[in-house]
Amino acid sequence: MTEYSSHAPREFEIAGRAVIVAGAGRGIGKGIARVLAESGVQVLATAMTETYLSQVAGELAAAGHPIEFMAADATSGDDMAGVVERALSRFGRLDGLVNCVGDAISKPIVPLPDSAAETTPLTDEEWRFILDVNLTEAFVGCRAVGAHFLSQRSGRVVNIAGYAAARGGANSVAYAAAKAGLTRMTQALALEWAPYGINVNAIAPGVFPDPVTSQEAVERAAARAASGQIPLRRPGNLREVGLLTHFLLSDAADYMTGETVFIDGGAVFG
Name the residues annotated as catalytic: 175
**What is the DSSP code (8-state) at residue 262?**
E
- Rounded to the nearest angstrom, the gap between the alpha carbon of residue 172 and the centroid of all alpha carbons in its chain is 19
**What is the DSSP code (8-state) at residue 133?**
I
Alpha carbons 227 and 247: distance in angstroms, whole number: 28
Strands 42-47 and 18-22: parallel
Interacting residues of 219 by C-beta distance below 8 A, sequence separation 6+: 209, 211
- Report in angstroms the alpha-carbon separations of 213 from 35, 93, 205, 223, 226: 19, 33, 18, 16, 19
Q: From 207, 171, 197, 200, select the one nearest 183 (Cα to Cα).
A: 200
Alpha carbons 119 and 66: distance in angstroms, whole number: 45
Backbone angles phi, psi at 182, to 5 degrees: -65, -40
Ramachandran area for residue 37 (φ above 0: left; ψ -120 to 50: alpha; else beta): alpha
Strand pairing partners for 200? 157
SS3 24: coil
